[in-house]
A and B are shown apart, each in its own frame.
Chain A
Amino acid sequence: TQLLEQSPQFLSIQEGENLTVYCNSSSVFSSLQWYRQEPGEGPVLLVTVVTGGEVKKLKRLTFQFGDARKDSSLHITAAQPGDTGLYLCAGADRGSTLGRLYFGRGTQLTVWP
């Protein structure tokens, strides 16, 4: 059973298009992180969101944490081929001090030139 559901599972778009990836759960998280993973590499942290309703921007990437801290979205504006990769969301257990993260299955994004 996946604690975090990501959608869509696969996304294939042309350079310049916009896209949104969703991460949903029935559980409340103390924080939520987004990672990007390229083939043969480990996940690389993009952002951590902590406060319900929080919005963070990282160049063309916009991350939002839901008001109830159960869901999050990642929006990419004007996607580029360099954005290609597996995008993973991960939630930290509310109330836990152990540092354990629960990961979604990921969204595989392919951006064509």
Chain B
Amino acid sequence: EAGVAQSPRYKIIEKRQSVAFWCNPISGHATLYWYQQILGQGPKLLIQFQNNGVVDDSQLPKDRFSAERLKGVDSTLKIQPAKLEDSAVYLCASSASGNSYGYTFGSGTRLTVV
């Protein structure tokens, strides 16, 4: 089966600019996650969707980050305006059941804010 697709793979922007990342999960996977992985740290959950509804966005910096999952399939994560500390790899993952047992991660988008 095809994996989780993410684009772009790399992005360099200046601080205060905006950026958007796209994720296409595995077909049929109802649960989609966005994680942020800062260099030297493990991934940290930003937001979790169940179909097209948000079930956990407690760690999402809502003053600058937003995410949507229209029609319960693809998802986009946006940062506006970006800060230097947003430099990280943004990972998308999906699972069929949402019970933590069957995560599949995409390759991630590496964001550098200069």
Contacts and interface: CB of A to CB of B under 8 A. Distances in A.
Interface of A: 2, 4, 30-31, 33, 35, 40-45, 48, 88, 90, 92, 97-101, 103-106
A104 B103 CA distance: 16
Chief secondary structure at chain B's binding surface: loop
Contacts, number: 66
Interface of B: 4, 9, 31, 33, 40-45, 48, 55-56, 91, 93, 95, 97-108, 110
A78 B10 CA distance: 36
Contact of B107 (A42, A92, A97): A42
B45 to A, nearest CB: 6
A99 B48 CA distance: 9
A42 B56 contact: no
B28 to A, nearest CB: 16
